[in-house]
Amino acid sequence: GAVVSQHPSRVICKSGTSVKIECRSLDFQATTMFWYRQFPKKSLMLMATSNEGSKATYEQGVEKDKFLINHASLTLSTLTVTSAHPEDSSFYICSAPMGNYGYTFGSGTRLTVV
């Protein structure tokens, strides 16, 4: 089945640094990738939608300059958390739509900012 590979699975970084999270579609072309954030014991909040070759669409309240999204190819979408702060610590998940199947999800990245 279609797989989205997400890396890294865990990352710890210092405040003020930037972290890049990658999602690769392994056996299909993902023209669209959704990026979610999941707070502890909470649901998934859609942050933005990335589209190959065009600017990402951000949900209301999500800082574009803080969460940089790039979708440069049909198999790779990246989320960069810039100047990370402890409040950015969270679980980040990517997801690609799969037509009638629904959606395939990455395994998630747990970001801890210290």
Q: Using the rule CB under 8 A, is 61 a contact of other proteins?
A: no
Q: Using the rule CB under 8 A, is 102 a contact of other proteins?
A: yes
Number of residues binding to other proteins, judged by CB under 8 A: 21
Q: Using the rule CB under 8 A, is 44 a contact of other proteins?
A: yes
Q: Using the rule CB under 8 A, is 78 a contact of other proteins?
A: no
Q: Using the rule CB under 8 A, is 57 a contact of other proteins?
A: yes
3-state class (DSSP) for residue 98:
coil
Calpha distance 6→9 (Å, rounded):
7
Classify residue 31 by burial, with Cβ atoms within 10 Å: 0-12, 13-18, 19+. middle
Which of the stretches 18-26, 71-79, 80-88, 95-103 binds other proteins when contact is defined by CB under 8 A? 95-103
3-state class (DSSP) for residue 27:
coil
